Amino acid sequence: MAITAPSGPLVVFGGSNNPDAGTSFGRRGFGIMDPRVPYSYHPGGSTVYGFLGTAHIPVIDAVPSTLAANNIAAAQAVGSATTLTLVAASAAGITVGVSITNAETGNPVTGLLAIDSAMGYVSVAGTSSIRLWDPSKAISRNVRITSVGNDSGITFTVRGYDLYGYPMAETITGANAGVASGTKAFKYIASVTSSAAAAGNVSVGTGDVIGLPLQANAWGSVDVMWNNAKVTASTGFTAAVLTDPATATTGDVRGTYALQVASNNTLRLQMFITPSVANIVKTSVGLFGVTQFSS
């Protein structure tokens, strides 16, 4: 398709007679044109150069609930190939009985546990036709399995959905009288199953590894504010895992940040991501990572 080049400046406004006045979207961000003669647009030209102008996108602005060992599943005996009993009441950062739409199939899914509330959006148009993902509800977290006995010879499979409603699954090897931590960030939990009987009681809870809502391949693409202080060290940052296809044991497809001070339902987390040029010009994989493993 040929370049469309109105001379501008362009002004987008919403008068009182426009019920859909709201934020304007760009398919793959917005750019800043290089104004120099060899690189700038000129009538009839087919090529123009510039820089990506989409930066510092606010993706999380929320207070994570307190780190917990048993807010997904209370301590319980686990038999052979057992599906653990999940909590039945909303508490400790978990909301029960949540319904979403499976983003892959379009089908409704019910009876889920939502971590730090269900994902939401903010309408910026009169008829709700333009929606922005809500940073105040964008917390997704890793899952931790706490074992009383030696469960290092068995695995636990967590199934659920990410914050956008895409199905995902992770297999976590049990610990020997300790805590086994997953590396993928879940927003919704559907089930947790064991591969064999556990040596003692097992509980399941949320960790302090926070999922990135957009893919980040380097620490320099991420800005973090924790408890109103800017985080300058990259400690805790894990880049997006690019393995394609993803597996039950590969890391998070968008990347994660491990909080360096335990969450306590008081400290605020704010995250901003600047997509790389290489990522933003790709299909959705560039912004959101490879397809989640869900088998």
Look at residue 1 in the predicted model and tell me its pLDDT: 67
pLDDT tens sequence across 28-79: 888 888 888 888 888 877 888 898 888 999 999 999 999 999 999 999 999 9
* β-pair partners for 167: 161
- Band (pLDDT 50/70/90 cuts) for residue 15 is low
Average pLDDT over residues 171-196: 98
- Residue 222 belongs to what H/E stretch? strand 222-226
Task: Name the DSSP letter for residue 137.
Answer: G
pLDDT tens sequence across 197-213: 999 999 999 999 999 99
The CA–CA distances, whole Å, from 138 to 142, 208, 221 equal 14, 14, 18
Look at residue 130 in the predicted model and tell me its pLDDT: 80
Show me where the domains of the chain are located. Answer: 58-288
Tokens of 55: 């930066």
> Mean pLDDT highest for which of 22-26, 37-41, 45-49, 267-271?
267-271
- Report angle CA 256, 109, 106 to the nearest 5 degrees: 85
The CA–CA distances, whole Å, from 119 to 25, 165, 168, 186, 213 equal 21, 9, 16, 11, 11
CA 230 distance to own-chain centroid? 21
Say what the pTM is.
Answer: 0.93
